[in-house]
Amino acid sequence: MSFSTTRRSLLRGGSMLTASAFLSNYAAAFTADTPSSPPSPVRLGIASYTFRKFDQPHLIDFMKQLKTPYLNLKDTHLPMTPVDQIAPRAAEYRAAGLTLTAAGTIYFPKDEDEDIRAKFEYCKTAGISLIVGAPTHETLARVEKFAKLYNIRVGIHNHGPEDKQWPSPLDVLAAVKNMDPRMGCCIDVGHTMRSGTDVVAAIRKAGPRLFDIHMKDLADSTSKESQVAVGQGVMPVREIFQALIAMHYPGFVDLEYEIFPDDPLPGVLQSFAYMRGVLAGMGYKP
């Protein structure tokens, strides 16, 4: 698929016209700045897995269209090898005005220093101080050792009922509660909901152990296949934002839009428009 085709897709077909109308309505209703509105304390970003079918130049262009600099990079967009290309590639993103907030999801299946060290070294070389990670229970202590050694935080990503390691963020919190404060959670709200865990309650319980949020929405709270654009499902987005603001959450809310991988931009634009609309409705400049 060519990039020009993807950009035109927002205006193609009935569903894309709906997306365009949706964006126009939100722009009219919510984007007018008022002098008294404070900037939003919720910082919206992107998990680059959203754009996994696209290369670096397209990703950078998409970020500019979304008007956010905050990027959680998957290794699809910043490969771990060759090692001598990690720093230059990371520098290209920063030169484009982007902030590299996290790397991942990075998996730690081997309880071996060499394997784990290489992944921390990758993040150090890229200048990224947060790993969105998926260790196993067996590798967790060794990952903690390297988190302390490299002074890099690890937010363990929960993956729902199918995940035998971390179905819910509550499982993560139970495992890291006595660990170094650099060990914490990346709460994926969709997988959290599917696990039967109250998303807002989990956010509050995580407190300072909450390092990142992966945002998505579901039409059916139990079905992974029911993902929709944020605002079209049952995710309590406003309540999530209220909880984050109340706890002075310092991290990012990264949209991870996993559907329509060949043409995700319309749904991503809808999701951002909705989230910014919610924040504007709460009295913030989104």
**pLDDT for residue 277 is more than 80:** yes
Q: What is the pLDDT of residue 12?
A: 38
Which tens digit of pLDDT belongs to each residue from 71-94? 999 999 999 999 999 999 999 999
Cα–Cα dist 280/286, whole Å: 6
Largest CA distance in the chain: 55
Could you tell me if 218 and 228 are in contact, meaning their C-beta atoms sit under 8 angstroms apart? yes
Q: What are phi and psi of 35, to 5 degrees?
A: -60, -30
**pLDDT for residue 19 is more than 80:** no
Determine the average pLDDT of the residues in 255-269: 97
Letter string b/e over residues 63-100, b meaning 16 or more CB atoms within 10 A of that residue's CB: beebebbbbbbbbebbebeeeeebeeebeebeebebeb
* Of 275, 263, 229, residue with least CA distance to 62: 263
Which tens digit of pLDDT belongs to each residue from 38-48? 999 999 999 99
Q: What is the pLDDT of residue 34?
A: 57
* Strand duo 210-215 + 217-218: pairing: unpaired
Q: What is the pLDDT of residue 5?
A: 37
Q: How confident is the model at residue 36 (pLDDT cuts 50, 70, 90)?
A: confident
Determine the average pLDDT of the residues in 58-79: 98
Which tens digit of pLDDT belongs to each residue from 116-173? 999 999 999 999 999 999 999 999 999 999 999 999 999 999 999 999 999 999 999 9
* Of 204, 181, 183, residue with least CA distance to 192: 204
**What does pTM read for this prediction?**
0.88
**pLDDT for residue 29 is more than 60:** no
Domains defined along the chain, listed by start: 3-8+48-281 (3.20.20.150)
Could you tell me if 241 and 231 are in contact, meaning their C-beta atoms sit under 8 angstroms apart? no
Q: What is the pLDDT of residue 35?
A: 60
From 24-28, 86-90, 95-99, 269-273, the region with the lowest mean pLDDT = 24-28
Determine the average pLDDT of the residues in 233-262: 98
**pLDDT for residue 11 is more than 90:** no
Q: How confident is the model at residue 286 (pLDDT cuts 50, 70, 90)?
A: confident
Which tens digit of pLDDT belongs to each residue from 196-231? 999 999 999 999 999 999 999 999 999 999 999 999
State percent of the chain over pLDDT 70. Answer: 88
**pLDDT for residue 254 is more than 50:** yes
> SS3 of 80, please?
coil
Mean pLDDT score across all residues of the chain: 91
Q: How confident is the model at residue 9 (pLDDT cuts 50, 70, 90)?
A: very low
